[in-house]
A and B are shown apart, each in its own frame.
Chain A
Amino acid sequence: MNRVVITGAGTINALGHSVPATLEAMREGRCGIGELDFRDVDRLAIRIGAQVRDFDPLQQFNRQQLALYDRFTQFTLIAAREAISQSGLVFEGELAARSGVVLGTAGGGVSTWDDNYRSVYEDGKNRVHPFVVPKLMNNAAASHVSMDFNLKGPSFTVSTACASSNHAMAQAFAMVRSGMAPAMVAGGSESMLCFGGVKAWEGLRVMSKDACRPFSATRNGMVQGEGAGVFVFEEYERAKARGAEILCEVIGFAMSSDASDIVMPSKQGASRAISGALRDAGINGDEVGYINAHGTGTAANDKTECAAVADVFGHHADKLMISSTKSMHAHLIGGTGAVELLACIMAVRDGVIAPTIGYEEPDPECALDVVPNEARDADVTVALSNAFAFGGLNAVLAIRRI
């Protein structure tokens, strides 16, 4: 089995349009959540979210490209450019033939669906643009990354709601570890912040009207964000031989299914994913210094997640740090695990733990060190990233400093 490292990272989200900008915002505990700004927002009960601001697609893409790129694809390509450029890899020959791209998204081209439903239902038009289907399909982003960077190996899209990115990155990791691919581009993207996207979420009544406050007794729900995170997973010896800058080693992962409820999380399912990742990585629980929590800010998730962590880690649960960066970038749904892996990399590489901001009051059912409100310097060797999706599908990744 090959060792696997990450040699490139890229992102665009409400905290920043690049990895350095995002990490700076996390260090400063900045909040990317604000008033939503799009058509018909006045008809929504939920009017906050973490939108990507100051983003002009025409600065990044030409008109022909934009006819085919939904916003979730635009975000993906921007993040992929940053990640692949940092890695220094140029995909050609044998490397191109065997390397691919696996991305997560829950909704795909949601605003393309929304715009065109509006056009045919509300405006009564009977003709839609010919690119509606290639623009909205869930694999559009993965396909455009493969075309832009000449990735000709295994490429596909994973859709497991809020765990999509973690499942995607787990696939990429497994492929490089097994030797199936020398390098893989992986991560995820989401852009549901449009009228129909938020209206659908409103229906569940789990959205907060004012803030995302994970683990705080005063929490009142989740807040939606948007954006993408993309990474280059590469076989360690290969990366070392070419003198690549290594951001971290990926040491294990596990996936589990609750097999119980379509929305309520299960402590057992979460525990099995966390302990499975430790087992896969061949490490003891006490080696874990930081967990990037799924931490949605809902009553159901936060209690269940804290109970699962307490179960798996025993006494060590009181020593490790666990924060939810969703308090800053909000919940990127299918893209969330990818942006959250950045906080794990910052922990093991820079020794900085991103905080859970908006924390007001302890909740006895979430009695862990949630790194409230301010980032903290700490020496962390191993970090985990949790993702527990609607539908009970869980995926946890483990990374280590190198």
Chain B
Amino acid sequence: MSVKDRVIAIIAEQAVLEPSDVTMDSTLEDLGIDSLGLVESIFAIEEDFDITIPFNANEPSESDFDISSVAAIVAGIEKLVSEKV
């Protein structure tokens, strides 16, 4: 499974949606994921990819990690995964 599909699967599970309902331009808010759900999603992604995401729940917009859309999250994860090796 590609990084994109794995991230979408995790987000879909958190949002209790089918992966096909999660589009790249969706925001987490569109998908009904609240702040706790976001933190849980970040945790699940970190566990799945064995990476550490520089995400600060105090000020998500100030983090070095863009969560403004599914596409931004996927791009961020792809970068972290590529840096891992």
Contact = CB atoms under 8 A, between A and B. Distances in A.
A130 B16 CA distance: 18
Interface in A117-133: 127, 129-131
Q: In the complex, which range does the number of interface residues on chain B fall in?
A: under 10
Contacts of B43: 127, 129-130
Q: Is the interface of B mostly helix, strand, loop or mixed?
A: helix
Contacts of B39: 130
B78 interface: no
A242 to B, nearest CB: 37
A130 B40 contact: yes
Interface string B12-55: 00001000000000000000000010011011001100001000
Contacts of B40: 67, 129-131
A127 B47 contact: yes
Contact of B46 (A64, A67, A127, A131): A127
A127 B51 CA distance: 10
A64 B46 CA distance: 19
A131 B42 CA distance: 12
A131 B35 CA distance: 12
B26 to A, nearest CB: 19
In the A-B complex, the 9 residue pairs with the smallest Cβ-Cβ separation, listed nearest first, are A130-B39, A130-B43, A130-B40, A129-B43, A127-B46, A127-B47, A67-B40, A131-B40, A127-B43
Interface of B: 16, 36, 39-40, 42-43, 46-47, 52
Given A130-B42, A130-B43, 6 more contacts: A127-B52, A129-B40, A130-B36, A130-B39, A131-B36, A131-B40
Interface of A: 64, 67, 127, 129-131
